[in-house]
Amino acid sequence: MSMSVLRRVLLSPGLLILAVLVVAPITLMALESLRPFVGGRAGGTTGWTLRNYTELTQPAYAYYFWDTFRIGFIASAAALLLATPLAWQAARTTQPALRVLIFGLLISLLFMSLIAKLYAIQMTFGPTGPFAALGTLIGVPARSPQYAQVQVFIGLLHFVLPLATLMMIGTFQNISPRLEEAASSLGAPRWSVALSVTLPLAVPGLLAAFMIVFAACISNFVVPLILGRGVVLFATNLMYTRFSDIADYPSGAAIGVIMLVLAGTMVYAMTAIVRRLVPADVQR
């Protein structure tokens, strides 16, 4: 058996699965989104319409999209803000014990059930938890409905922080420590080294990480489900309620198409940025 035949054999199951289980369902969903919704009937209707999409521009629904973006953006920005110093320390430390500790922490968090973490957050920062005072500190008491936004924010942060940190570790590992030492020897205190050398060189990595984290946040379903208390709903949750509450498949499908387009755009933007800003010999 020649190499190219072997290759084809190895690739075909995967390609088959992709075609049958990804392309076909999504195509079907896209088609369904253009069908009118007939109450009481699940699918099978005829005719084409754009009403499912135009319906979403109404303030009531647009609000959910806005919430998704707003909270997702703030959580992503906070994640990058906290991930960067942690990642820099992990990448630069000369003590192997510290590095292994941080790596270990990050990977355990990745492997740990998100649901478990979310309920832990509920018990810690929720109205009955020991850190509920956090709410009063920032002016949103834990018992108020708006506090759900804070909890969703915390939940998203827990979700993406390990991922963001790991990505930033990669970025900092590819910036030579000699550059920081050179800046230091030329008279720059550490904060000046960070601002004038380290961060400018980390920008492509930061942007790429932000895009990935942001896409993950707006696509997330569980966090608003568990911590949103019905007050905070992401577009993803909206999709589910269209299906589960009123069996409005076409509307759910329309939301799905929009989410797909958004996520895809973000990924495309990320690769474009990386390609523009990272010199070709550094890209793997």
Partner 1 sequence: MTSTACASVAGDRLAGFLVRFLLIATVLFLVIPIAISGILSFDDREFIGPFPPTAFSLRWYRSFFENPSYISGLFVSLRLALLSAVISTVVGAGAAFALAETRWRARGLVEILFLSPRFIPTVVIGFSMLGFASAIHIFDAFTRLVMGHVVITIPFTVRATLAGLVGVRRGLSEAAISLGAPPWRAFLDATLPLARTGIIAGALMAFALSFDEVAVSIFLTDAFTQTLPIALVAEMRANLNLTVAAVATVFAIIAMLIVAVLDRVAGLDAIIGRGMYRE
Partner 2 sequence: MSSPGLELVNIVKHFGSHAAVDGASLSVDSGEIVALLGPSGCGKTTTLRLIAGFERLDDGRIVVGGIDVAKVPPFRRHIGIVFQDYALFPHMTAAQNIEYGMRQHGFGRPEREERRRDLLRLVRLDGLEHRSPAALSGGQQQRVALARALAISPRLLLLDGPLSNLDAKLRETLRGELRDILCSVGTTTLIVTHDQIEAIGIAHRIALMNRGRIVQIGAPREIYEAPTTRFAAQFVGQSLWFGGRFEHSGNDRGRFVSDEGLLFDTESPVTSASRYGLSIRPEHIHVPPRAADANRLAAVVERVDFLGAELILRCRLDQGDRVIAIPVRADECITIGAGDHVDLGVAPVHCRVVADE
Binding residues for partner 2, rule: CB under 8 A, are: 176, 178-179, 181-190, 192-193, 196-197, 200-201, 279
Residue 53, contacted partner among partner 2, partner 1, none, CB below 5-8 A by kind: none
Task: Decide whether 15 or 137 has the Cβ nearer to partner 1.
Answer: 15
For residue 94, the minimal CB distance to partner 1 (Å) is: 7
Residue 60 binds partner 1, judged by CB under 8 A? no
Residue 77 binds partner 1, judged by CB under 8 A? no
Residue 221 binds partner 1, judged by CB under 8 A? yes
Q: What is the Cα–Cα distance from 25 to 107, expressed in whole angstroms?
A: 33
For residue 168, the minimal CB distance to partner 2 (Å) is: 18
Residue 137, contacted partner among partner 1, partner 2, none, CB below 5-8 A by kind: none
Residue 41 binds partner 1, judged by CB under 8 A? no
Q: DSSP assignment, residue 245?
A: T
**Segment interacting with partner 1 (CB under 8 A) among 14-22, 59-67, 138-146, 201-209:** 14-22
Task: Decide whether 146 or 271 has the Cβ nearer to partner 1.
Answer: 271
Number of residues that bind partner 1 (CB under 8 A): 95
Q: What is the Cα–Cα distance from 104 to 101, expressed in whole angstroms?
A: 5
Task: Decide whether 10 or 276 has the Cβ nearer to partner 2.
Answer: 276
Residue 14 binds partner 1, judged by CB under 8 A? yes
Are residues 87 and 162 in contact, defined by beta-carbon separation less than 8 angstroms?
no
Residue 73 binds partner 1, judged by CB under 8 A? no
Angle (nearest 5°) at CA 282 between 280 and 284? 90
Stated length of the chain: 284
Give Rg (Cα) of the chain: 23
Residue 277, contacted partner among partner 1, partner 2, none, CB below 5-8 A by kind: none
Site for partner 1 in 183-202 (CB under 8 A): 189-191, 194
Are residues 22 and 33 in contact, defined by beta-carbon separation less than 8 angstroms?
no
- Residues 165-186, buried b or exposed e (16+ Cβ, 10 A)? bbbbbebbeebeeeebeebeee
Q: Cα–Cα distances in Å, from 233 out to 49, 96, 137, 172, 268?
A: 26, 43, 24, 36, 26
